[in-house]
Amino acid sequence: MSPAEHVAAWLRQANRVLFITGAGLSAESGLPTYRGVGGLYEDAETPEGLSIEQALSGGMLRRDPALCWKYIAQIENACRGAMPNRAHELIAAFQERVETWVLTQNVDGFHGQAGSDHVIPIHGDIHELYCPSCGWEDWVHDYAELPMPPHCPRCRAIIRPRVVLFGEMLPPAAVGCLNQQLQQGFDLVFSVGTTSGFSYIAQPVLMAAAQGVPTVEINPGETPVSPHVRQRFSCGAVEALEAIWAAWR
């Protein structure tokens, strides 16, 4: 059997499937895959002489909101006009026949837009804004009409996107949901387009492999989980998922 046919056979036996996704998945929508929140920054320093980890940190948002918002807005601008690609659509389509969960590092919101019902956005969503002072919140399509830095329409405090900036903790609700789903267990785990550089991204794959659960990695380059997965596709997400979908259907 081909690699895609092997994965299709596992899918036919599965009741619950987990997709772990990263910047490489959205690359085929035209989004960059560099370093930084949302995978935007390739340079080591900003023009201000700061690392991007400093500029896009929770501390900087408190000390200098205008500077931090400058780089938050660049992330949103990179997402603006882009759409979910065929890989997002296929992941959503899998849920028609098997309970499908998505753990994503991406802040673009594409999985939800493509129709996935069970998404854990562990780093948040750039389109969700809220006020830490009074609790106001809203979902915005883009930042085109926002003044920089934007203020709360209710109390005039600085608002922020519901994303994890450098130096901040992961959202407790998302972590709780992930742990609950991992405790229930999965019959097949995919790692798609992520370097698996964070322990909470690599661990579900490593746990599944240790328990004998089939694991699949889709990534052109090797990652820390590559030696541990049962099946690996050294290509882009669309190419691999199209082949798996065709073999499964």
Residue range 172-186, pLDDT digits in tens: 999 999 999 999 999
Q: Given the DSSP bridges, would you call strands 118-121 and 124-130 parallel, antiparallel or unpaired?
A: unpaired
Half-sphere exposure of 29 (CA within 13 A, CB side): 26
pTM equals 0.93
- Residue whose C-alpha is closest to residue 87's, from 124, 113, 107, 105: 113
With a pLDDT cut of 70, the percent of the chain lying above it is 95
Helix (H) or strand (E) holding 21: strand 16-21
pLDDT band at 142 (very low <50, low <70, confident <90, very high): very high
The strand pair at 137-139 and 118-121 is best described as unpaired
Residue 41: pLDDT band (50, 70, 90) is: low
38-52: average pLDDT: 70
Domains and CATH numbers, the chain: 3-30+84-123+169-248 (3.40.50.1220), 32-81+127-163 (3.30.1600.10)
Per-residue confidence band for 81, with pLDDT thresholds at 50, 70 and 90: confident
* Sign of the torsion angle spanned by Cα atoms 192, 193, 196, 198: negative
Tokens describing residue 179 = 């742990």
Task: Determine the pLDDT at residue 39.
Answer: 53
- Mean predicted confidence (pLDDT) in 118-138: 97
Which residues are identified as catalytic?
Answer: 123
The confidence band for 33, taking pLDDT boundaries of 50, 70 and 90, is low
Per-residue model confidence (pLDDT) at position 93 = 97
Cβ–Cβ contacts within 10 Å for residue 12, how many?
A: 11
Nearest CA among 12, 18, 17, 3 for reference residue 232: 3
Structure tokens at 135: 């609790």
What pLDDT is recorded for position 31?
A: 81
